[in-house]
Each structure stands twice: as structure tokens, then as C-alpha cells.
Structure 1
Amino acid sequence: MTDWRGLRLLVLVLAALVLTVAAFGAWCLVQVVDTRAQERLVAQQNTEADLWARMLTARMEAQQRLLVSIAQGMHTSLLDKPAVLDALMQQEGSMLRLFDSLHVALPSGSITHHGLGGAVVEIDTNGVEALRRTIAEGKPNVVQIQTPEDASHLRVLLTVPMRRADGAVAGALAAVSKLPLATLIPEPLGAVPGLQYVLLDPDGVVLAHSDVTQRWKNARELWEAHWAEWQSLSKPSAASAQTVAWGARLVTRVGLPLPQWQAVILRDMSADMLGNQGLPVQTWLMLGLGLAILTALAVWALWGWLAPWPRHAGAAVAPGTAEGLTAHRHGEPGGAVAEADTPPVAGTLAMLDNVPVAMLLEQNGRVQVATPQVGVILGYFPSEGAVLALDHLFENPQALAAVRHALVDLGGFEGLVQLRKKDGDWVWVEVLAWTPDRAPDSTVWRLRLPWRQGRSVPSWPVEAHAWRDGLTGLPNREAFMWSLQSWVTDSLQPPKALVDSAVARVPTQGCLLFVDVDHLGMMNEVTSRDMGNKMLRHIGRLLHSHVQPLGDVARLGGDEFAVLLPGLSLAHAQGVAQALCDAVWRWQPSWGGERHWISVSVGVVAVDALRHAPQEVVRGADMACYEAKRRGRCQVAVGQVSTLQAVSRPAA
């Protein structure tokens, strides 16, 4: 007995595994998207920090060059004449007025101060130390002057050496420049939440900040939680941007070479990262509900596919129903109910697909597989038969119930039933149905046409071998024309009995297929003529196998074949022709280790035995096949037949 509980547990485990893999895949996708977003933000912020640092450096260098120009134009004799410098500071148009104050230091240690309007502006100890370093080292310096009382400006002291004609340092000239904070902090493009600009001096003191309340604080006060990371980031380096991530914050630092300041940009990445974005509760509920519904549907489908619910012994089963077929084993006394021990049907499906007989396999009222010959009789080809309900084929529900009663009571059924074709017409079919012992929920149906079984073989006027094609073994052109004429004659014969008139009468209408192999001459040149002959033999067997339930196949000569399909409508015959094209295309013969694709073009014409002459029928189908080749080959084209005067049916 099959362990259904184990199968269902396996389905649940697979569903849980699918959900886990889906969740992990979603997490990986979020990580990849966030990584790409962070890389984009890092590149953008590095570029922004570099531009900001270059702007500040260029501004300080411009101030420094101006002071150097003033120092070069000033004679060293003016260093000990402070009155002259005061006068120059008051003179309109003087370049000295571009600064707030000037300061002159001599090697002796004396320092004079000169301000605008005669005001005396002192400098702090940092400024005095910068002047002394300039005299001692002969190099310019830049230091900031802390003025907490001025919340809108940053004062910077610039120093340059003054030299005599022999190059010796005669003193140092310093100037105080007042820089507006609004020009030091960039203006962000648009509203960017969590974006901050910070300008630090070499000691980590905040010189400028997007938040003015943070000015003159120490960097450690601002970033106490990330102080160790900041120390590794703020080590002296080249003036290139360095970026690290502090959780959801992106920190970029770049150094300014001349003032030795540090420009820092901090950005909150939460708004740009999927992993940090919070979706509304309603959205999460809708996603969870949708995932639960999809999972339930998948589990239900797999559950029913892997293991149909078994019936317990003693359960009541209505005879003649599909459920009865599932529960009963034929041959058990008293119709005892047993659990279905159904083996996998994959092997059965593969076997039926290659049987040259019109057969179909039905399971629980649905057609699981049908041979190509079923498509020739009913018009439902294998790809369509897999989703076909059996009750759709029966005109009378009582007829299907009678078949099921016979299957339950006798283990099989044999008789005539009327089935619905795909084009809406009805056809009488001789049915042989049985239920395999090891598959009680399945039924095998074999279909045959009664008029086809009762039709006599045409009596050829000469030896049989003269009417056969020597290569394929199929009837040749002469035999086919004789069969076509015999069909016309048989269709004109009156039925022997009234009961047989609707069942065994040969149909007077049908279709003719003209099949031509595409590019056979080229294939003979690429491979060999022997290979071409093998292809013709295989295609002949393929055509005969597909249409043998009701059709006659012949090789007309060369690469041309003809198929007569009595009783088929034009739409039905087009489906048969397309199925033949697909079957030939799927066959890929091998030659010299390479695969070759073979195709056929098919012309289809509708035939009326009372109105059309055999020669005109073949000619019309040939012209339709020519049209299919003209359109590009490997397809089906429909043609017409010239109409003759109507033929009267003999009296009964």
C-alpha cells in the first residue's frame, strides 16, 4: 500500500523549502540592490567631497597669492615704519584693505598690528606662533582664529616671509581674512535628509558645520560612538577622498594640503537602501496573504497530483461512476473495495505515444494522453487531449454511464458509440475499453471506424507488386488513383440495411493531403542518396502510422506523397496536416555525427465524391502544396478543386 502520509509530508517539506528559498532569494536580491546603491552613493560622495576640498583649497591659495604679491611689492625698509603701513591701510583702493588687518613680525620678536580705520587688532597665541614659524622656516602658514562671538564668519590668519635682496628672511607679513560661513559650506541640490558638511582643523575642532550649533566642538563630542573608526580615517593622507560606512551613515573625508583642514561629508543611506526601508503594515499584510494563497494552491495541486485521497474499506461507491472506477478492483468477489495501488503512469504514457493505433488513456474522467491516430479520427491531437474531459466527447451522457457500468461490472466494454469531433460533427466509433488491474482509476480506450473495418480492399487488375512502391512499400500513384476511384464507387453504393446507414456507410466527403519533402535534393548532396532514401522510407512509415485509422497513404513518386482522409472536414484535415508537419520536423536524422532538420509542405483540398474527379482532386492538392512551398515551406496551405457535374446515387 502506498504511504500517502509520507507523500503529503514530502509535499509540505517541499513547500517549506520553496518558501525558504524564496525568502533567501529575496534577501539576497535586497543585499545586491543595497550594495549597488551603496557603491553608487560612495562614488557620488567621493566626487562631491573632492570638489568641495578643491574649492576651499583654491580659495585659500588665492588669498595666499594676494598676500605674497603684497609682500613682494613692499620694501623691507617699511617693516620698521608702522605709520606708513597704517596710512596704506586707510588709503582708498589699496590692496591692503582686502584684509581685515595686517601684522608685521621682525626677527627681533617685535610685532606690529594694523587694522582698518586705525583700529588695533590683536592676534592670539596661535597667530604669534605662526609668524615665528614663518620667520624661522621661511614658509607660509595658515591658522584659524577662534571667534565664538562671530557666528557667521571664520577668521583665518595667513603668513608669508619677507626677504631681502640676498634672500635672507627680513621678517614676516600676516593678514587676517574674514570668510563667510555660508560660502564655506556647499548648498545641497534639493532636500537631502541626513546630509551634513563638517570642516575640521588639524586638532579636530569644528570650524564650520551644516548645523551652526555644533561649531567649535571637538570631533570626539560629535562621533563618540565611532571614535576609533574616525581616528583611523582621519590619519594624514593624500588629498583624496576616503569613505567608510558607519551603519546606515556614509562618511567621506578628504584633506586640504595648505590649511591642513579636513572636509567631511556625512549622509544617511536609509532612504536609498531597500533593507532599511520600512513598508506599511497594510503592504506587508497583503504580501503575506498573497504568498499564503499561492502556497496553499501549490500544495493543493501537488497534493492531488502526487497522491489522490484513498478510500477506506467499506465506503459506499455508486456503480458506474468515475469514483467507482477508482475504488473497485475488477475480478474481486462481491465488488470488494480496495485501496488503489496505482503505479506511475509515465511508462504507460510513453508506450501509448508510440503505439500505431487510435488509443487514449483516461484517468478520473480526463484524457491523460492520446495517440496521434486519435487526432486523425476526432481532431483532438495529443497536446489538446491531455486537458480534455471524457464527457465532452459523448453526445449522450447515458452512453458514457453505460460504458462505465460495463467497466465496473464486466471489466471492459466493446461496442459502438457516437463521439463528438473537435469541429462539432459526430462520428460513430467502435470502442474497446478496459481498466488495467494495477491502475483501477485509469481506462484504456481503443477507437476504430466501423466503415473502415467493413470496407473491402480494392481489387487491383494486375499483380499486387506492380501497385507497390519499391522503396517505401506504400501504394504507388496508379494504386492511389485506383483507391481514390474505389472510394468514389463505395460511397455511391446504397447501405445494406437501415440500421447500418448511419454507421457503416462510406462517407461521400473528405479531404486529400499532398505532401512534398522540402529540400530533398539538397539533402542528397549534403549526405548521400542512400540517406535520402532512408528519409523517404521513414517519412512514408510516419505518414502511414499517423493516418492509418481512416486514411490511405501512397507515394506518388520522387519526394511526393498523397493521403486520402474520407469523412474529415477541411478544418479537421488541416489539423491532421499540421500534426504531420510537426511530427516530421521533430524527427532529426543523424548523418556523419551531425543532426539534420527535415520538413514537409502539405497542400489540403476538400473532396466531394459526387462532384470531383480523381485527377482534378490530385491536381488541386498539388497546387495547394506548391503554395505552401512558395510561402516558405514547412507549413500547410488550402486549395480548391475544379467542380464537375453532380453524379447521381444509384437507387437502393
Structure 2
Amino acid sequence: MSELNMPGPLVRRMMLIALICVLLAGWLAAWVVSRASAEELSSRLVRQQTDEVELVARLLASKIEQSQKVLGTVAEGITPQMLQSPSLLEWMLQQGLPALRFFDAVEIARADGRLILNLQNGKMEPAASLDAEERDILLRTMVKGKPQVSGVLGSVAGLARIMFTLPIVADDGKVSGVVGGVLRLQSQGLLPHSLGLPGRDDSRLIVFTSDGVILSHPELERVMGNVASEPGLGEAYARWREERTPISTGRGETATIDDRLVSMAGVPMPQWWVARVTDTRALLALYGAQHRKLWIAAACVLTFGLLAMLIMAWVALPLTRLHRRAQAILLSQGTPESRPETSEEPDMLTGALDHLEAQQLHSGHQAEFSRLQLQGILEQAPVGIVITRNDVLEFLSQQASLMLGYSRAELEGRSVKCLFVDEGKFGELERQIREGAATRRGYEGEFALRRKDGSLLWARVLGRMAFDLPSAMAAVWVLEDVAAAHDERHGSSRDALTNLPNRSAFLERLKAQLVRNAELTRAEQLSPGSGVALLFIDLDHFTLVNDRLGHEAGDLLLKQFSSMLEELVRHVGWAARLGGDEFAVVLPDCTVARAEMVAEHIRASVEAWEFSYEGELSNTTVSIGIVVAPADLEDVTPWLRAADMACYYAKRAGRNRAMIREMTDKAAA
């Protein structure tokens, strides 16, 4: 290596220091990691085991909820005529009801306490053969009128079972009967044998009740035994019995008891516990193996550190050439002030960069001053101003952002085509831009633009070419909101009584929202599980207000309700009046859970509201149907029909509630 290409003294010192640091860091890392590995392994096992029991607890809670939903499906298929005619009910069963095959036994009783169906393992049995405990649970459900989940019935593992009950409510809100479903404890729908198999030889997964009865265990002979005799777990169960900690879904806790790691998580509905017990002595053997691997890894780090130093010596050669170039730049200035006092690399490079920076700073000041002037003018402009280049949005004024409902960051860099409802209109505007570029004239037109929320903005667009280069296609737009004039020409889109969008405006805006939702879906810009949610709202017993207080009171109630509804949803969507006492709310980019929360907020707010007319107070409620549109939905008619039907079911279920309906089949909907 020639003297000209030898690294300078500073680089050589840095290489030596780096080598020493790598050697020290490798040794220190191996020592620290080896000391901390036991704690890390223990912490990792605690997290893993806690997550595991939480997952199983949530799975069991989901199975309980699924069983209740299946039983609800059975109850929905039972009419009052079937309860009065056992032969009709038996005929329905002969036709085949898939939900019945989910349970090992199904019992149905009427409100007078008579058992009219006792289906055991798919066979009809006489009412007298019904177990006394199951009969008692059916009677309790009929008296309380609420769904129930029993405790463990039976004392033998093979005969242990759980019973789910659900009251059958007639249209008048009274309990007309009760249906019950029984699942064997170790059935696939509840606690199959595979659930108790351990993930490791040194670990056991156990499910038991709050009374200590074991429901699932790797050793089948331990099922229906008591958890107090389980090593490690018995002590944790006794501690829980003393503290009486409430059972909550999915939250796990882990403790170390007698060389055993015990994790527990609760399933509140049936009052069960899920526990994982692991022998921590196996952890020590794993730590020893990992300890040896850490030292081997440290030796590899040191070896690669030495190799890195050799590579660094080769990489530093361009720095020497850069040093020579910097020295030549400074010597070309010819002034003593520009020459460094030493020949060290930093001094030479700093001097050269200072010289280049001074030149760029002078040019940058001029450009920044011009940019600030332009930005100040646009920010104060009372009209919307947009600058585009080659059909791409480069800059928007504050007024333009407010008119379109977007922030500048959301639009800058996107194609201007995304703002136009009709791409044919955009083609017309683009043609006028090109003609203006060729003849040095401007362009003008009235176009329908799409706001962020999917609504229409009728705007007059005035434009001029910003530069003389036609190939750059740079243009300045001036936007003027002409929605009022457009409505005056084409008719009002507002409901005369409530000032909400009327049905025709609602349908037009809803179609535009679906088009935008499809575009966002194709661009993968929607959140997972999100879509456009539609809430169909109907006032309960509205005709009673007209009959009792008069139509003027009814109109006043509709006005006040519309104002409250618009205020409740204005931050998350928009509302419209479909006619009479029927309203709709549209929630863009919304999940099913979020739509249900918004609907519940509306329902509770209306329930708490008191309507006053001529000193007389009255309360009202609403029934709400919720449907989230599929990503490929094109026609709003089945969507609106599905939401209407969901609202109908909410009324049929007793009013003052919200119900969700899915659109899995658009044609059927």
C-alpha cells in the first residue's frame, strides 16, 4: 500500500479504539447475558404460560357464548302454536333443525310447567324420565325470565354435563315457555379430551370449577376429583379461596409455588378456572444449555469483530482520497483564512464543507423567502387555491382543505382525479387545461367534487397555467363553492321539516359512499374489518304522540330528535330522514363493534331524553337495525332492506334496542 493511500493518523487511532471496544463489548455482553438468561427464561416462560391460560379461558368463554347462540337459534324457530301443539313441534323436529344436533339433549317446556319435549341423544323420551336437576333449572329460568348456565350436573366423569336454558318470549313480552340444551362435559362443544393434553411433559393443563371440582385433566381418572390434592395448584386454589378474588375473563395471573410455576385465568359465566402447572426444575436444565450457547456466541462476536477491523482498514481508503480533494478545494480559494491550521482529516473536511455550505445557504435563503411569500399569500386567500403538476396535487390552501374536508397531508401527492365524482368530467377539465396551455387562455367550469366524507361539493373551477412549459402541465386552480346555486337550480336535497338530507339525497350520497369504499378497498387503505355501516332508526310508538298530543307535537318531536341525532353522529358519520319517523345514519370506515357502540350511544341518549310540549313531558325510545356493507356491494337496495329488517327484529324483540344483521348473500337480502 503506497504512502498516498495510507489512512491518516486519526483513522488509525479510531480503528485501534474500535477494536478494543469490540473486544470489551463482546466479553461484557457474554457475562451480562449469561447472568440475566435465567431471569429472561423465567420471564419468558411466565409470559408464555400466562398467555396460554388466557387464550384457553377466552376459548372456553367463546364456547359458552356459542352454545347460548345456538340455543337462541332453536328458540327463534319455536312459535306459540308449536308450544300449544306437541305434535306440530314433533313434526318440526322431524323436518330437521341443525341446531338441535349441537346438544346432547334438548328439553322444551310450556309456561304452565308441562314438559312437551324431552330429546335425549336424538331420541324422544317420556317427560317422567327427565332428571330432577334439569327440571329445576327449567323452572328457575321460566320464573326469572333470563338465560342461565348451570353448574356441573352429575358426579361421575362420564355423566357430568352442563345445561343452558333460554326463555321463549312471546310478542307481548311474556314468557311463553323455556328451552334447554345439555352438553356432556367432555363433548367436542365444551371440554374434549384433547384440551387436557399437556403441551410439555413437565406441565399440566387443568380446568376446574370455583368449588374445586376438576373438569379437564391430562389424567382422565382425575376428572371430577378435587383440585386441592394437585401439587402446587392446591396451594394457589386455597389462596384464591381466602382472598375471594372475582373471576374475570381472559386476565391471567402467575405465581411460583414449591418449585412449580402456576398460572390461572378465569371464565366468569360458568365460574370456571383454567390453570397451567409447570415444574420449574426443567427450566434449570434449559438454562445450562443456553448458558453454553451464549459463550459460544460471544466467541463468534469477538472473531467477527477482528474481521470487521480488517474490513474497516480497507473501507477507510476512500477517506484518504476525500481528504486530498478537500485540501485541493481549500487551496483553490487562495486566502489564508480558508486554509486549516493542521493537516488532520476533520480539519480539511470541515473547511471544505463550510465553503460549500456557505454557497448553498445563500441559494437556499432566496428559495425559502420566495416559498414563504407564496405560502403566506395562499394561507390568507379567502378562496380555495390548488396547485397541480401533471395531474398531481402539489399544494392546497387552508380554504381549499376546509372545502374538501381533507387535511393537506392527505391530498398532497395524490392524483387530482380522486376528487372528481365523474371521471368523464375530469377528462373535460383536462382537455380545457391542455387547450389553455396551448393558447395561453384559462379554463372555467362547474364540477361535482367528492369530499372526504363522500358528500358532493359543487364548485366552479377557474384555472390558469402557472408556467410556459406545456409538458410540465403545472396549473393553479381557484375553487368557489356553488352548492347553494346548484341546489336552487336542481331542487332542494333537504327535508323541509328536519333540515336533514331527504331520501333522494340520502340514496345519492350513499351510492357515492359505496363507490369510495370500493376504491379504498382496492387500494387496501381501509382498516381490517372496516366498511360502511348503516343504522336504520325507527321511533317507537310515534303514532301515540300524534294521537295524544296532536300532529304539531309530533312535528316538534321529529325536529328536536333530528337535531339531537345530527349532533350525536356528526363526528363519526352523517344522518338523513327517510320519511315519517324513519331515519338513517351512515358511518364510513367503521367496524361492526364500533357501529354497535354508536348505536347503543344513540339508543341510551334518546331513552334519557324527555320531550316537553305545553308543559307535558313524555319519553320516547328507538329501535335500531345495524348492517355493515360488504366490500363488493354495488346496489344499496338490498343493504337498505337488510337494515330495515334488522330494525324490524329489534322492534319484535321488545323495542328500545339495537340488532345487528349480516349480508352474506346479497340476493337473499
TM-score normalized by the length of structure 1: 0.35
Q: TM-score, normalised by structure 2?
A: 0.34
Structure with the larger helix share: 2
